[in-house]
């Protein structure tokens, strides 16, 4: 069974904020982080490796993952679909950004995940939408990185506003190849986007 893990990148500014957000976060943790992963050293290492990798490739996901959703034509698509990034572990990788190789990426309807994974993905997408709108963004999308070797995954939420439609590449056939190239290269995006 595929395990979905939340990645919370929303910093809370005070203890009050943390206490206020805890009931919602606790529910998501219960759904998304089964306790058996923390008692299994192999699964925990795979999860930690995937989280470190995700932190390094997040800029590429943000820049080249958004065009996959074609949000300019359908702003609600992030409520129905997630971007799946299938990864394989690279043996003997020396740096976190080279720990995995992207073998495929595609949009997948949330309802097409088998139960109970569809419920976990739905919870992650719903939380992303609520948090995005609460922060003043138009909406949000979730990108799901899956380690095909260990079957752990990391759900990465992104919020967006109107600037997305100006500052990001437009949808087209190239997004997949360019995203996979940047994920697999292990290089910083810098100013050279292609």
pLDDT in tens, 88-146: 999 888 898 899 999 999 999 999 998 888 888 999 999 999 998 998 888 899 999 99
Q: Is the pLDDT of residue 87 over 90?
A: yes
Q: Is the pLDDT of residue 1 over 50?
A: no
Segment 50-74 mean pLDDT: 89
- What are the backbone dihedrals phi and psi of residue 83, each rounded to the nearest 5 degrees, phi first? -90, 120
Q: Is the pLDDT of residue 12 over 70?
A: no
Q: For position 9, what pLDDT does the model report? A: 43
Q: For position 118, what pLDDT does the model report? A: 86
Say which residues have a Cβ less than 8 Å from residue 90's Cβ, sequence separation at least 6. Answer: 98, 99, 100, 101
pLDDT band, residue 71 (cuts 50/70/90): confident
Segment 29-36 mean pLDDT: 55
Q: For position 29, what pLDDT does the model report? A: 56
DSSP letter (8 states) at residue 56: H
Q: For position 83, what pLDDT does the model report? A: 97
Full 3-state SS string of 68-137 = HHCCCCCCCHHHHEEEEEEEEECCCCCCHHHCEEEEEEEEEEHHHCCCCHHHHHHHHHHHHHHHHHHCCC
* pTM listed for this prediction: 0.78
Q: Is the pLDDT of residue 73 over 70?
A: yes
Q: Is the peptide bond before 71 cis (omega within 30 degrees of 0)?
A: no
């Amino acid at each position: 069974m595929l395990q979905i893990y939340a990645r919370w990148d929303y910093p809370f500014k005070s203890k009050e904020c943390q206490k206020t957000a805890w009931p919602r976060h606790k529910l998501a943790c219960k759904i998304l982080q089964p306790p058996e992963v923390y008692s299994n050293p192999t699964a925990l290492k795979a999860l930690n490796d995937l989280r470190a990798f995700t932190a390094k490739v997040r800029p590429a996901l943000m820049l080249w993952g958004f065009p996959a959703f074609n949000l300019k034509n359908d702003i609600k698509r992030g409520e129905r679909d997630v971007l799946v990034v299938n990864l394989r572990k690279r043996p003997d990788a020396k740096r976190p950004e080279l720990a995995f190789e992207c073998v495929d990426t595609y949009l997948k309807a949330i309802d097409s995940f088998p139960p109970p994974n569809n419920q976990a993905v739905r919870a992650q997408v719903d939380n992303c939408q609520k948090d995005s709108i609460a922060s003043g963004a138009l909406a949000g999308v979730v990108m799901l990185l899956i380690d095909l070797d260990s079957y752990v995954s990391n759900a990465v939420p992104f919020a967006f506003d109107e600037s997305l439609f100006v500052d990001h590449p437009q949808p087209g056939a190239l997004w997949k190849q360019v995203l996979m190239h940047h994920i697999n290269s292990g290089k910083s995006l810098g100013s050279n986007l292609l």
